[in-house]
Amino acid sequence: MSRGIAPLLARRIRSSANHGTDDIDRTLWDACVVGSGPGGAVAAATLAEAGWRVLLIERGAYRPADQLNFRFLDMPMRLGRLDVTKGARVALHQGNVLGGGSIIWGGVAMMPPGFVFDEWAHVSEVDSITADSLAPHYAYVAKTMSVTRQKIEQENRSNAIVRQMAAALGQSEGLELVRRYTRGCRGTGLCNIGCGFDLKGTMANSFLPTALETGNLTVQTECEAVAFDGEQTRSGFRATALHVVVRDVATGHRISRFAIKAKAFIVASGAIHSSALLLRTRAFDCRLNTRKVWLQRPRGDSIPGQAV
């Protein structure tokens, strides 16, 4: 994995306390990415490396590894946010920090079996979604994030109990050591509250540093997307601006509100909040569109299309 976000790179990460926003709302960005998790960070890095001038916004704060203390009563709410449905029937804990859900995930690297790709292609009607077509992308992510196969001696107590249960059922041969984004893992079993050792692969020590090193990425943390402005065209809704609110991460008080202008917008803030953002944009037609699109670099070269 990469070295992490060095102090020099961290200067390009803005917060409610250390930068104004005048130059952000006065700039026409090539792309604005909403969300810094596995979707947004990879998209931002891909575009920044291709020469795009990219703004990435994240609702949470930037938390360097030395701020992660493994405390159960502290880290879950500092790194995530608990959202509940009406009546509190369903609770969802999601990343609310630079790096998104990658900071609080278990770091398991699973490649779906072939029949899953077949189902995706059938449902999306995009024939290019196959194990073979995605294999080089899986390999690239594995290299960037140091995917390694876990060793038995790295198993924590919980995993050891599962192994004992499988043996008691006569199914021990059915267990497989997983591949994880955890080279050098110390086996604490506390991946889901952030790795203070910085040994778990996250967006903050892989794709975000890669994007920042290009000089083409600016990050605004503590910035919440509200709704899009745009217009209906023959091919659908075209976003022209994104209204955002910058809040003090400690108090939640609003500091400023402005609109971001960009030639392209990428919404990657999770299944729940991405959908909520689009629903708040009343002019947007939320019917699923599985057409293949092509991103264009400012100088006219194309980047291979992705199904959306």
Q: What is the 3-state secondary structure (H, E, C) of the chain?
A: CCCCCCHHHHCCEECCCCCCCHHHHCCEECEEEECCCHHHHHHHHHHHHCCCCEEEECCCECCCHHHCCCCCCCHHHHHEEEEECHHHCCEEEEECECCHHHHCCCCECCCCCHHHHHHHHHHHCCCCCCHHHHHHHHHHHHHHCCCEECCHHHCCHHHHHHHHHHHHCCCHHHCCCCEECCCCCCCCCCHHHCCCCCCCCCHHHCHHHHHHHCCCEEEECCEEEEEEEEEEECCEEEEEEEEEEEECCCCCCEEEEEEEEECCEEECCHHHHHHHHHHHCCCCCCCCCCCEEEEECCCCCEEEEEEC
Q: Please tell me the predicted confidence (pLDDT) of residue 2.
A: 52
* Residue that is written with structure tokens 């997307």 in the block: 225
Q: Please tell me the predicted confidence (pLDDT) of residue 301.
A: 41
Q: Please tell me the predicted confidence (pLDDT) of residue 20.
A: 66
Q: Please tell me the predicted confidence (pLDDT) of residue 283.
A: 55
Q: Please tell me the predicted confidence (pLDDT) of residue 298.
A: 41
pLDDT in tens, the chain (308 residues): 456 787 778 888 988 777 667 789 899 999 999 999 999 999 999 999 999 999 999 999 999 988 888 888 888 888 888 878 778 788 888 899 999 999 998 888 888 888 898 898 888 888 888 888 889 998 999 888 888 887 777 777 887 888 889 889 988 777 777 888 877 777 777 888 888 888 888 999 999 999 999 999 999 999 999 999 988 888 888 899 999 999 988 888 889 999 999 999 999 998 888 988 988 886 555 444 433 333 333 444 434 333 33
All residues at 6 or more sequence positions from 31 whose CB lies less than 8 Å from its CB, including other chains: 44, 47, 52, 53, 54, 55, 262, 263, 264, 265, 266
Q: Quick: pLDDT tens for 141-191.
A: 988 888 888 777 777 788 788 888 988 998 877 777 788 887 777 777 788
Q: Please tell me the predicted confidence (pLDDT) of residue 295.
A: 37
Q: Please tell me the predicted confidence (pLDDT) of residue 192.
A: 85
Q: Please tell me the predicted confidence (pLDDT) of residue 179.
A: 84
Q: How far is CA 193 from CA 17, 70, 206, 215, 249, in A?
A: 25, 6, 19, 30, 18
Say if CB 36 and CB 222 are below 8 A apart.
no
Is the Cα torsion angle 168, 173, 177, 178 positive or negative in sign? negative
Q: Please tell me the predicted confidence (pLDDT) of residue 91.
A: 81
Pairing of strands 292-296, 302-307: antiparallel
Q: Please tell me the predicted confidence (pLDDT) of residue 304.
A: 38
